[in-house]
């Protein structure tokens, strides 16, 4: 009985570790998708305000999901600066 319990616990521990590893990949993918959606939404807002928007990103060298997310975060920051500038001009 003790051997069965130890085996069961080992299987459950292995399953928990592998599940959490898969969840990390899903989370990275979800973060990338969310960042892409943010870039798209912000570019649409800028276009509706009459701005010329460059949404192109260079993913060369970005091999992991986190690296790709970083590229899109940089693009988002660039677009946010453009939005802030345009919004300040409209407010004046």
Q: What was the pLDDT predicted at 91?
A: 81
Predicted confidence (pLDDT) per residue in 22-52, tens digit: 555 679 999 999 999 999 999 999 999 999 9
pTM for this prediction: 0.70
Q: What was the pLDDT predicted at 90?
A: 82
Domain total of the chain:
1
Is the predicted pLDDT of residue 4 greater than 50, yes or no? no
67 by DSSP, 3-state: which?
A: helix
Length, in residues, of the chain: 92
Domain that holds residue 50: 2-91
Phi-psi region of 3 (alpha: psi -120 to 50; beta: other; left: phi over 0): alpha
């Amino acid at each position: 009985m003790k051997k069965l319990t130890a085996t069961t616990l080992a299987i459950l521990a292995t399953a928990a570790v592998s599940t959490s590893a898969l969840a990390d990949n899903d989370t990275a993918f979800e973060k990338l998708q969310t960042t892409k959606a943010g870039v798209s939404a912000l570019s649409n807002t800028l276009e509706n305000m009459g701005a010329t928007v460059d949404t192109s990103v260079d993913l060369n060298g970005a091999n992991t999901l986190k690296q790709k997310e970083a590229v899109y975060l940089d693009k988002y920051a660039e677009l946010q600066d453009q939005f802030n500038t345009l919004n300040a001009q409209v407010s004046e």
